[in-house]
Amino acid sequence: MKLLVVGSGGREHAIIKKLKENRDVDVIFALPGNGGIAQDAVCVPIGATDIAGITAFAKENAVDYAVVAPDDPLVLGCVDALEKEGIPCFGPRANAAIIEGSKVFSKNLMKKYGIPTARYEVFDDMGKALAYLETAPVPTVVKADGLALGKGVVIAQTRQEAKDAVLSMMRDKKFGKSGDRVVIEEFLTGPEVSVLAFTDGKCVKPMVSSMDHKRAKDGDQGLNTGGMGTVAPNPYYTEKIAQQCMEEIFLPTMRAMNEEGRTFCGCLYFGLMITPDGPKVIEYNCRFGDPETQVVLPLLESDLLTVMQAVTNGTLEDCDVTVKKGCAACIIMASEGYPASYEKGYEITIPEDLQDSVYVAGAALKDGKLVTSGGRVLGVTAAADTLREAVDAAYAKVDRIRFDNAYWRRDIGARALAVKED
């Protein structure tokens, strides 16, 4: 089979490595992929949002199955365009990807169908948003409606900070049209859990839960990033909470999307907070999370391509989604300075025996050598029987990988381990 994967990060590398385990796979094209992904796939320089280019390539090369991994092509209708050409795809159509593409949509969906989430107000008028903030309780959370590269959320400790966030989104257009509308919502507290689940609109089959580490520095300090590391499973996600989430969040979300005529087929990401009042939805993503995928897929026992095709065919009910026993940890090796400014172009050395454990996020090939080209450079993963062993093994691998200006957090998994050892 000829497969095509749209995207260029560590998540796509993890998806590609897992797809390759299926013996029917002859070749995988990565559009555009990156210098590290080139080890496992044929990288083609067509951008992830070049829908016409992707579709034309898929047709010309008689691709049998396509996986659209990132949010922007999904929201732009990449799956719709490929399906129109008769190419079976993994990923939601645009009318369902809106669950991530518009926070106003997802908040209104949750309200309409009684799915637990933070209380909120929506504003398309800046004056009204600012007036509301005069009396709103703080801390409060200001969110741009549309996609904003994961940067459209501001946790404001004071009313002034909240007003500044509204001004930067609505007046200064920091996120362009994504900030034309804002959601101002209640600040919730509690541990966060990510759950990635397959759904074909008829059933929901979650994979192992995970915990992201979003802040740049140890101790959850510093700026918000795309994610500095992950562990799975998430110890806060107990059997009881999992059951509650299935009944109160996962199935109601699937049914709500069906009810709205927006059946979601693909991987639905539930960003949850386990509040004192029970689990609530912080956000939905219409795709695999990054870097959650880098710990979740290594713990997936089932064949990924088989599960994806079952989702596409609407036969997920008959397909096992089995999770391996054990734990996994992924440490992101970044460029010093990320997520602000950083230098790139430094050569990366990865020992041969570690190639399988490394998911390349931001690296390019230059004169045949792998060099850093992004803020997040590598995800280094290990799986083991216990979380302690997985974390230690992942850090032992990190210590054997070299590039100048490398930076990584030293405390990935510390919080999860503290829970486990309580």
| Residues at the interface with ligand AMP (CB under 6 A) | 118, 141, 150, 153, 155, 185-188, 192, 214, 271, 282-283
Closest C-alpha among 118, 99, 103 to residue 256: 99
CB of 406 to ligand AMP, least distance (A): 25
Nearer to ligand AMP, 185 or 292 (CB): 185
Alpha helices in 289-409 (DSSP H): 293-296, 304-313, 387-398
Closest C-alpha among 192, 157, 194, 185 to residue 275: 192
**For residue 298, what are the CA distances in angstroms to 95, 231, 379?**
30, 11, 13
Asked if 76 and 49 count as a contact pair (C-beta separation under 8 A), the reply is: yes
Q: Which does 145 bind (CB under 5 to 8 A by kind): ligand AMP, ligand GLY, none?
A: none
Nearer to ligand AMP, 38 or 138 (CB): 138
Nearer to ligand GLY, 150 or 326 (CB): 150
Sole binder of ligand GLY in the list 48, 212, 374, 413 (CB under 6 A):
212
Q: Which does 228 bind (CB under 5 to 8 A by kind): ligand AMP, ligand GLY, none?
A: none
- Strand ranges (E), 242-293: 266-275, 278-285
Rg (CA), the chain: 21
CB of 229 to ligand GLY, least distance (A): 10
User: Interface with ligand GLY by CB under 6 A: which range of 163-171, 179-187, 285-293, 404-412?
Assistant: 285-293
CA distance 217 to 223: 8
Q: Which does 118 bind (CB under 5 to 8 A by kind): ligand AMP, ligand GLY, none?
A: ligand AMP
CA distance 233 to 385: 11
Q: Which does 187 bind (CB under 5 to 8 A by kind): ligand GLY, ligand AMP, none?
A: ligand AMP
CB of 289 to ligand GLY, least distance (A): 3
> Which of the residues 107 through 166 are near ligand GLY (CB under 6 A)?
150
Alpha helices in 134-278 (DSSP H): 159-166, 239-245, 251-259
CA distance 155 to 405: 30
**For residue 367, what are the CA distances in angstroms to 26, 159, 401?**
27, 52, 20
CA distance 9 to 346: 18
Q: Which does 290 bind (CB under 5 to 8 A by kind): ligand GLY, ligand AMP, none?
A: ligand GLY
Asked if 328 and 389 count as a contact pair (C-beta separation under 8 A), the reply is: no
- Residue 100 interacts with ligand GLY (CB under 6 A): yes or no: no
Closest C-alpha among 43, 50, 11 to residue 27: 43
Q: Which does 188 bind (CB under 5 to 8 A by kind): ligand AMP, ligand GLY, none?
A: ligand AMP
> Residue 137: phi, psi to the nearest 5?
-70, 145
Task: Establish whether the linkage from the previous residue to 291 is cis, with ω within 30° of 0.
Answer: yes
- Residue 285 interacts with ligand GLY (CB under 6 A): yes or no: yes
CB of 187 to ligand AMP, least distance (A): 4
CB of 150 to ligand GLY, least distance (A): 6
Q: Which does 153 bind (CB under 5 to 8 A by kind): ligand AMP, ligand GLY, none?
A: ligand AMP
- Residue 292 interacts with ligand GLY (CB under 6 A): yes or no: yes
CB of 215 to ligand GLY, least distance (A): 12
- Residue 289 interacts with ligand GLY (CB under 6 A): yes or no: yes
| Binding residues for ligand GLY (CB under 6 A) | 150, 212, 227, 285, 289-290, 292
